[in-house]
Structure 1
Amino acid sequence: MERTSTRVVNGLIRRVIADRDLYLQAARGVREPGLKAILDESADALTAIAKELQGQVSAAGMRPATAGGPMSGVRRTIMEASVKLSHDPDVTYIRTLEQMERRLLDAFLRLESTSGDRAMVGRHIARLRLLHLDMTNLGSAAGR
């Protein structure tokens, strides 16, 4: 893995970790126990993606990112403010996570078009599509 690729992958690692943290925050804030379980499982899936990417960077002899990016706190604050203003906090969490997953999936799709390891990126894309599908289905069920 070349230095430029490492920088891109580390950016994705930071994004995945930040998104995972938002899933965990949402899991703590939702009222519905079934939704909490889904959000915890989604956070676990993002943790697995981050660890695999970190392993790839380490295997290349580089230092992997280990925390979310500088905007993580801002995104967390915005999500919590939206939830406080919402008449249905669970739906607000779902909608926020759905949008977030779409952006993360798009970032991985862009990486796939330039990556030398399409199989690894493809595995992550498959996981992210499932996460996004979960959020989309939950959003639809919540009566959009």
Structure 2
Amino acid sequence: MLGAWMEEWAVTCAPNQLINDLIRHGIDDRELYGAAADQVQEPGLRQVLHENCDALEAVVTDMQLQVAAEGHRPPRHGTLRGWVRRQLAGWLARRGGDGVWIHLLARSEAGYRRMFESGLDRMPQDARRVLQRQQGRLRDLADDMCSLSASQRD
């Protein structure tokens, strides 16, 4: 009897766990964007990073609302790894300038997008809809960071 309950629990919690992981990593990336936007020197870049931070906030909020609508408590903060990465990024950027932020954000955004898209493949259809609504927004963020990263190399 306990085995059947555990299997049912695992099936119903797996999508929420994945969404919660996406929320936590989204919060990490949002906070990384915020830290970068506060520290970069170029005003145009600062504006783009603030806009990307706001777009990522919308993605995270939408997923949090989905988890809450299902009667669960969504994460409200990122991970320890994300905090450490922000601290290290700030230290490196003070020595390397705006290009360091762009490089770190591009890598982080690409990783988040891969995690997001692989999550779509493992989601049940009802949970997948929330993620699919945000997919275009994440592509735009990744495209922004790829463009900025490419312009830094030129």
TM-score > 0.5 by shorter chain: yes
Please, which of 103, 107, 111 is the counterpart of residue 95 of structure 1? 103
User: Could you tell me how far apart the structure 2 residues matched to 1:136 and 1:50 are?
Assistant: 21
Please, which of 61, 74, 80 is the counterpart of residue 84 of structure 2? 74
In structure 1, runs of 5+ residues without a counterpart are none
User: Could you tell me how far apart the structure 1 residues matched to 2:103 and 2:133 are?
Assistant: 24
Structure 2 counterpart of 1:37, which letter?
Answer: Q
Structure having greater relative contact order (Cα 8 Å, sep ≥ 6) = 2
User: Could you tell me how far apart the structure 1 residues matched to 2:79 and 2:122 are?
Assistant: 22
Aligned residues: 142
| Identity level (%) | 33
Q: Per-residue deviation at 1:120?
A: 2.4
Deviations 1:106-142 (A, max 9, x none): 0011111111233322222211111011011011112
- Tell me what 1:111 maps to: 119
- Tell me what 1:51 maps to: 61
Structure 2 counterpart of 1:72, which letter?
Answer: G
Structure 1 counterpart of 2:87, which letter?
Answer: T
Please, which of 37, 45, 49 is the counterpart of residue 27 of structure 1? 37
Deviates most, 75-84 or 1-10? 1-10
1:132 aligns to what SS in structure 2? helix
In structure 2, runs of 5+ residues without a counterpart are 1-10
The answer as to 2:24 corresponding to 1:14 is: yes
Structure 2 counterpart of 1:107, which letter?
Answer: M
Q: Per-residue deviation at 1:85?
A: 3.0
TM-score, scaled to structure 2: 0.87
Stretches (4+) displaced over 4 A: none
Deviations 1:66-104 (A, max 9, x none): 011121221112211221331xx1111111000000000
User: Could you tell me how far apart the structure 1 residues matched to 2:95 and 2:42 are?
Assistant: 18
